[in-house]
Amino acid sequence: MPSLSVSLNLNGSVGKDGKNQPHDVLAVKNGLADLGFPVTRDSLVNPETIDIIKLFQSIIKGQTIIVGDGRIDLDGPTLKFLQAANAPQWLEMPKGSPAEGFINHDNRQGDNHDFGTSWMIEMIQTAAQLYLNTYLSSHPSAALIQTNDLSKSRGGITSAHITHQTGLSCDIRLPRKDGKSGGIVFSDSQFDRNAMRAMLKAIRNQSKYAIKQILFNDFTLIAEGLCVNAPGHDNHAHIDIIPPPRQ
Ligand SMILES: [Zn+2]
């Protein structure tokens, strides 16, 4: 994805309990808006502004729930990453296609639980290309990688998950032997374990982003070191990524 590296030249802190000089606030909000974060391009610090600064802080800390003090300090890590060549963008997951090796289930359902970091989206796109090359090419009737539930359009708390607040998490629906996905658990005879193995390997082997963890309860794939057990993960795999080093 294109670099959006910017230089903000702030004179004081911006956000919760910050100095909030109008020119600085506008520069920060323009910077966040340029990256796709949902802020208005004005000089006002309101609760929504602070929420989005916290979202950005949580992302660069690699947290999957919202943390952060909501303030951008002149010598702090938030300002540095906001100006980095690989600053996270906030985007909606593309809808995907057979040629890309993945399908966005939220898009098919018409919901908006598919916003996340450019990092996660790029990881999925890269892994899906690898899955296409290493497995789908020789198993053309196998299911595509089917993503479900990144984060809500503004990030933050979602009733569907404990984490998934910061665009660093994504779920994968289970591939079926009929080439479709979802509606089954790992013990179902319809579960296509070979396709799932290839998907998880592609996710682990793509070289762009480090994987923090993959949660999924299939005993066979756990024994192979591809995932770990966690309550509630019989019918999907959950993936978290680690932020890349700042560039
Ligand atoms: Zn999940």
Of 148, 149, 123, 147, the residue nearest 202 (C-alpha): 123
Residue 171 Cα to ligand 1 midpoint, Å, equals 5
Residue 179 Cα to ligand 1 midpoint, Å, equals 22
Contacts of 64 (CB under 8 A, 6+ apart): 58, 163, 164, 165, 166, 168, 169, 240
Residue 45 Cα to ligand 1 midpoint, Å, equals 32
Identify residue 227 by its one-letter amino acid code.
C
Q: Is 4 within a domain? A: no
Mean per-residue pLDDT over the chain, rounded: 96
Residue 31 Cα to ligand 1 midpoint, Å, equals 29
Q: Which pLDDT does position 1 carry in this prediction?
A: 55
Residue 6 Cα to ligand 1 midpoint, Å, equals 33
Q: Is 219 within a domain? A: yes
Please give the Cα distance from 29 to 16 (Å, whole number). 14
Do 78 and 94 share a domain, yes or no? no
CA distances (Å), origin 105, targets 47, 87, 114, 116: 31, 27, 9, 14
Owning domain of residue 75 = 14-82
Q: Which pLDDT does position 158 carry in this prediction?
A: 86
pLDDT of 5 higher than 90: no
Q: Encoding tokens for residue 193?
A: 């374990």
Please name the helix (run of DSSP H) or strand (run of DSSP E) that holds residue 171, with its range, or none.
strand 169-173
Find the CATH number of the domain harbouring 217: 3.30.1380.10
Residue 241 Cα to ligand 1 midpoint, Å, equals 12
| Ligand 1 is an ion; residues with CB less than 5 A from it | 171, 238
Please give the Cα distance from 205 to 224 (Å, whole number). 14
- Band the pLDDT of 7: cuts 50, 70, 90: confident
Residue 77 Cα to ligand 1 midpoint, Å, equals 27
Do 97 and 26 share a domain, yes or no? no
pLDDT of 48 higher than 70: yes
Q: Decide if 57 contacts 108 (C-beta within 8 A).
A: no
- CB atoms inside a 10 Å sphere around CB 178: 10
Residue 239 Cα to ligand 1 midpoint, Å, equals 7
> Could you write out the DSSP letters of every residue in 50-116?
HHHHHHHHHHHTT-SS--S-SEE-TTSHHHHHHTSTTPPPEEEPP-EEGGGTEEEHHHHHT-S--EE
Instruction: List 90's β-bridge partners, or say none.
Output: 117
- Band the pLDDT of 162: cuts 50, 70, 90: confident
- Band the pLDDT of 2: cuts 50, 70, 90: low
pLDDT > 70 in the chain, percent: 98
Q: Which pLDDT does position 85 carry in this prediction?
A: 95
pTM over 0.85: yes
Do 75 and 119 share a domain, yes or no? no
Please give the Cα distance from 166 to 59 (Å, whole number). 6
Q: Which pLDDT does position 160 carry in this prediction?
A: 82
Instruction: Please state the rounded mean pLDDT for residues 193-212.
Output: 98
Which of 40, 55, 82 terminates a domain? The answer is 82
Residue 96 Cα to ligand 1 midpoint, Å, equals 19
Q: Is 235 within a domain? A: yes
Do 69 and 141 share a domain, yes or no? no
